[in-house]
Every structure is written in structure tokens, then in C-alpha cells.
Structure 1
Amino acid sequence: MNWKFINSPYLRFLKMYINEIFLSIQGEGLYSGEKMVFIRTEYCNLRCSWCDTKYSFYEGKEMSIDEIVESARNINSGHGASWICLTGGEPLLQKDISVLVDRLSEEYNILLETSGSLDIGRFLPNHVKVKKDIDFKLPSSGMYRKFNDKNISYMEEGDYIKFVVNDLNDFNVAMEEIEKIGKNVKIVVQPVYGTDIKMLADAFIDKAPSNARLMLQEHKYIYGEIRGV
């Protein structure tokens, strides 16, 4: 997108629904440990049984892209975070998400956390500007088979598919799906917080392929289950 446009007064008229914006440590996936500004959008098209951000379904406020960018800058002032994480909810449901990505990518690296159910290329044509954390929903979520296979074709260096695992059945299904996806895609297997980690770790050691990593939700072990971290 033309830089003159994304710095123009028209941005004040482009609106998105934002649940919260905060600074924290990324606790999930391949970018765990990175300091990031999180922009959590409102709304989600799925209803996972173990979802830990159900407040994002409805709680939010309308903000212009200018306001979002300025809020991120203010929160990051003096902290030096070089990453923005677009999370939700489901960020792809925001109709002006591509404009926000264009604007933010001039100042930050961007990680998109998405449910995997929507066609990323359709909803975010400029997806090459973001790193992608793409969920693959398993049976315990109640949203199994919602994954859009097209999303695999959009994956590039630094992107990965995340399988959130709640029990051994989830794990075994994940292994079957990972085999179908192939070994050229980076995989994260993430236990639901509070599950039997040792049991899943033993299963991972026994069965997981070389392109997979077992990773925990680090922020929850640091801060517990609270908002804004």
C-alpha cells in the first residue's frame, strides 16, 4: 500500500474493534520470550471449549487506525519492543486489518495469531508482511475440522502451525494431522494450561516428528491466568 495513503488523514475514519492493547512477553509459540505489544481485537467466529480469552468475544471499543497505532506507541514508550502481536478473538474479522498491518509494518515486526479457520489470503492479502501463528483445532476444542487447508500454502519462513492439546486423544489426532501436513512446516504442540504436562511430554518424546516442538504457555507460569500479560 502507498505510504502516502497510510499516513493520510483518511486513517482516522478507518475503524476497528479493539479489546485491549498491552505490553508483555510473548508466552506462546516460536517467538516465546520476545517482548511484544499485544493488540487484541474483538469478536471470534469460533467457540473453543478451553478458550482463555472469552472476554474478547464481546468486550471492546471502536478505535481508528491512527488511535491504535498511537496507543501502541505510547504503551511501548521507553520499552523498546520491536514486535506487535495481532491477536484476538480473531483479527482477520476486522475489515481494515490489512490497512493496520501496512501501517504497523513500517515500525514493527508483526506476529498474527489466527484460528486457522479463515482463508488468510482472502482476509489479509498482504499477509507476507506478518509472521503467522496458525491454530489447528483438535477434538477437545469442539471446533475440530474447522482448519482451512489453503492456509498451508501461505506459510513462509518464520510461520508455524500450533496444535493446542488437552489430552492424549488430542495428541494422537495431532500426530495424524501433522503427518498429513508434512515435514516442511514448523509445528508447535502446546498443552492446555493445567493439563498433565508430563504425560504429554512423554507422548511427545515417543511420537513427535523432528519438525515439531513442545512448548508451554510461559506467560501463565510467570503471571498466572490474568488479563493483560
Structure 2
Amino acid sequence: MIYYPINEIFQSIQGEGVFTGTPAIFIRMQGCDVGCSWCDTKNTWCLDYEKKLPDSSYLHQKSDNSDSWTMMSSMEIFKYFSEKNYSPQHVIITGGEPCLYSLLELTDILIGKGYYVQLETSGTREIKVHENVWVTVSPKIGMRGGLVVLPESINRANEIKYPIGKEKHIEDLDCMLKKSNIGNDVQICLQPINQNKNSTKLAIKTCIDRGWRLSVQLHKYIGLK
């Protein structure tokens, strides 16, 4: 049985990408070495063992944006859903960077229990998940962590959700896509960084011109986690 470092588990509404508006259970893992300057979950970056909680019973006592975490097995994660009476059947594994860990066991169990599973990853690590997992790659190009986006991760994507702030980001995305082997059915979503007015205007124009989707982080507009 594999154990994972868990920052939090909660139910809410997916506010980004293709599944915007979908009720979901979020599994947020601890640990990330990508280093995005605009990251809104920097509390998940460091796996500080001084912040480790004794067990999952402490998770609901945490304050938002806490950097404390606990280790949970795949079955403990599944049982936590029942303990909290969570109702959504859509599960989102996010972080941090969840692909620091093999997610094969966890995704096998969740899909075997009837959940639809979505993974959110930067694409900088090998993706190890059940074949039926919906993989959302949010490519992080040129971040201060110095990691590169792996072509095999891009090629595994069902959805590419790309944060943009300026024209250079579109150029970087175009360059990456030209080198990839993604299918015609892969959804591409542009997400303005921090809801900046100019970024949003650029994203809207590009989506209209290219036939892509706009992702506006709905949860931030309506005050959800």
C-alpha cells in the first residue's frame, strides 16, 4: 500500500478548464519543485516534516493555506470521502505537484470504486495513473525551478490548461505544441494569470481566433475554495 503526503481533502466546484462548474472532491498533495511565481498554493511546495500531522483526523482542523500535511494510504483517502459524507463522483488529484508520486494505486482504487478521476499536473514529471484518468496538463515553461515540460506528459494530456500573461506565453505554447504529438481531440484552455485585465483580453482574443477554450478560475469569482 502506497502512502501519499496530503495537504487537504475537500469538496467544492471545479473552477478551471473543461470541467468548470463540476462538483468535485479535491485531493491536494504536498510537495512541488516547479516554482511558479503566480502560484496560489505555495503552501504546498515544501515537504517539511516538522509540519507533519499525526493522522488524517487533523486535516479538518487546519486553516486555509496551511503548509501542514499528513500521510495517507490510498484506502484511507477513499474512506475519508465516506467519513465526510462527500457526494461528488468526480475526483481531482492536484497539488503541489502530484506526479512527484506514482498515482497508479490510488487511481486504480478510485476508478474501481466508481469515481471519475482527473489529474492536474505541470507536465514536468512522468505521469503514472490509470489509463482512464482524465489528465489536465498545465505546462509550466521557464519556471525558476528549472524543470522542463516532458513531451511524453504533453502527449498523455486530455486537456492542456495554459496560464498566460503576455504574448510571449502564447509563442511558448505554440512552440511546445509543434514539438508534441497530441491528438485532435485534446482540449486547449487558456487561463489568464491572476485575472489580470490585459491577460484576460489576450486570452479571449486568442481563444476566439484559435477555437480554444477560456478558463477564468470561476471559484475565485464566486468566492469558493
Unaligned runs of 5+ in 2: 47-66
**Which stretch shows the higher mean deviation, 47-56 or 98-107?**
98-107
1:41 to 29, 36, 40: 29
* Within-5 A mapping of 1:18-57: 18-57=6-45
Cα 1:174–1:50, aligned 2, differ >3 Å: closer, same or farther? Answer: same
Deviation beyond 4 Å, 4+ runs, structure 1:
141-145, 179-183
Asked whether the 8 Å contact 2:10–2:26 carries over to 1, the reply is yes
Q: Which residue of 1 aligns with 2:169?
A: 170
State how far apart, in whole Å, the 1-side matches of 2:117 and 2:109 are.
11
Q: What TM-score, normalized to structure 2?
A: 0.79
Q: Give the drift of 1:104.
A: 0.9
State how far apart, in whole Å, the 2-side matches of 1:145 and 1:91 are.
15
Q: Give the drift of 1:129.
A: 2.5
Q: Which residue of 1 aligns with 2:53?
A: none
Between the aligned residues of both structures, percent identity stands at 32
- How many residues align? The count is 200
RMSD after superposition = 2.3
Q: Residue deviations 1:39-89, cap 9 Å, x none?
A: 0001012111111111112331112222211112233x2x53111100001
- SS of 2:80's equivalent in the other structure is helix
- SS of 2:36's equivalent in the other structure is coil
Cα 1:109–1:198, aligned 2, differ >3 Å: closer, same or farther? Answer: closer
Q: Residue deviations 1:189-223, cap 9 Å, x none?
A: 111123125531453156x423x212211111111
Q: Which residue of 2 aligns with 1:15?
A: 3
* Within-5 A mapping of 1:74-93: 74-75=83-84, 77=85, 80-93=87-100
Q: Which residue of 1 aligns with 2:216?
A: 216
Q: Residue deviations 1:91-144, cap 9 Å, x none?
A: 12134x211111111221000001101121xxx1x43131000111245x4468
Q: Which amino acid aligns with 2:216?
A: L
Cα 1:215–1:53, aligned 2, differ >3 Å: closer, same or farther? Answer: same
